[in-house]
Structure 1
């Protein structure tokens, strides 16, 4: 048994409630979710995918800039999973009245799935596949469905529109994190 903690155990969990980005510009990345035309979410995702792929092809993609800051690989694996989770949440909102989303502990997922040890080329392929699928799902939202509602397990309320805006902030913000 080893007494050393793994690199993924050193990350401080993010316990902030980021829903404030729906009403304020993010000082870190400059994104203003409220300004997003929901009809452009899919196109924006597709525009950003090549930047993630490029970042994942850097030689240092798996190197953390600091011991407590995720590497490009870890951020990209997270974004791949963001695409998957938000695609599922969108599907729930479109199929059910005011669904309650399952809790997703992003930090626990990063540790359990060993984001830090995944293959950058595989993550790039999976990220593009998941990103394209989620982009297509947002493209397919009918005009009368943007105000359908859903809730996170912590009680945060979303419409399809605000879920998309919130989701897109995450994707843009992490590009800022990887400096792609």
Structure 2
């Protein structure tokens, strides 16, 4: 199993709401905010294919997650953002609970999870958040929510930020 440590990602990625990502090429601001569910569903087969490849547990370089670890992370991104979106729709300007993605990876031991299980859980969590985004109406796109660090999102920008994360990690695993 993996023994090389991952350097925690402490970057504030909210800049992707203002300009395309130079690493993965995704332009979050250009997407239709009412199509997040559809785009999420379109990306799910790429994750399934990535998890079915040989060497899914192998890290491509020291300190870089394996495809399995990235997929487990994306599964958890689906779950976390599903909760955040739900709170934005049901509450007035909620503050999101902190989520330390690096601590989550260690606590859940992403590297030792079973690829078939992660694939099924990722598909289910992806379908759930896609359905929740499908239920968003145009009149709800400006509903706010906040991270504890003060970053303010609307339902629109949460969807844009969310899709960048999913697409960016597909780029990370070359899928």
Q: TM-score, normalised by structure 1?
A: 0.95
Indicate the SS of the match to 1:30. coil
- Note the alpha carbon deviations across 1:87-136, whole angstroms, 9 max, x for none: 00000000000000000000000011000000000000000000000001
| Divergent runs of 4+, >6 A | none
| Aligned residue number for residue 83 of structure 1 | 78
- Note the alpha carbon deviations across 1:21-77, whole angstroms, 9 max, x for none: 000110000001110111111111100000000110112111100121000000000
**Unmatched segments (≥5 aa) in structure 2:** none
| Aligned residue number for residue 97 of structure 1 | 92
- 1:164 pairs with one of 115, 137, 159: 159
**Unmatched segments (≥5 aa) in structure 1:** 1-5
How many Å separate the matches in 2 of 1:23 and 1:134? 24
Paired residue total: 175
* Residue correspondence of structure 1 range 104-115 to structure 2 within 5 A: 104-115=99-110
Q: Is the 8 A contact 1:75 1:178 kept in 2?
A: yes
| Aligned residue number for residue 3 of structure 1 | none
How many Å separate the matches in 1 of 2:111 and 2:77? 16
1:13 aligns with 2:8: yes
Q: TM-score, normalised by structure 2?
A: 0.98
Q: How far apart are residue 7 of structure 1 and its match?
A: 3.0
Q: How far apart are residue 9 of structure 1 and its match?
A: 6.0
Q: Is the 8 A contact 1:7 1:67 kept in 2?
A: no
How many Å separate the matches in 2 of 1:38 and 1:148? 13
Indicate the SS of the match to 2:35. helix
How many Å separate the matches in 2 of 1:28 and 1:8? 26
Question: Closer, same or farther in 2 for the Cα pair 1:38/1:107, shift >3 Å?
Answer: same
1:117 aligns with 2:112: yes
How many Å separate the matches in 1 of 2:6 and 2:106? 9
How many Å separate the matches in 1 of 2:23 and 2:32? 21
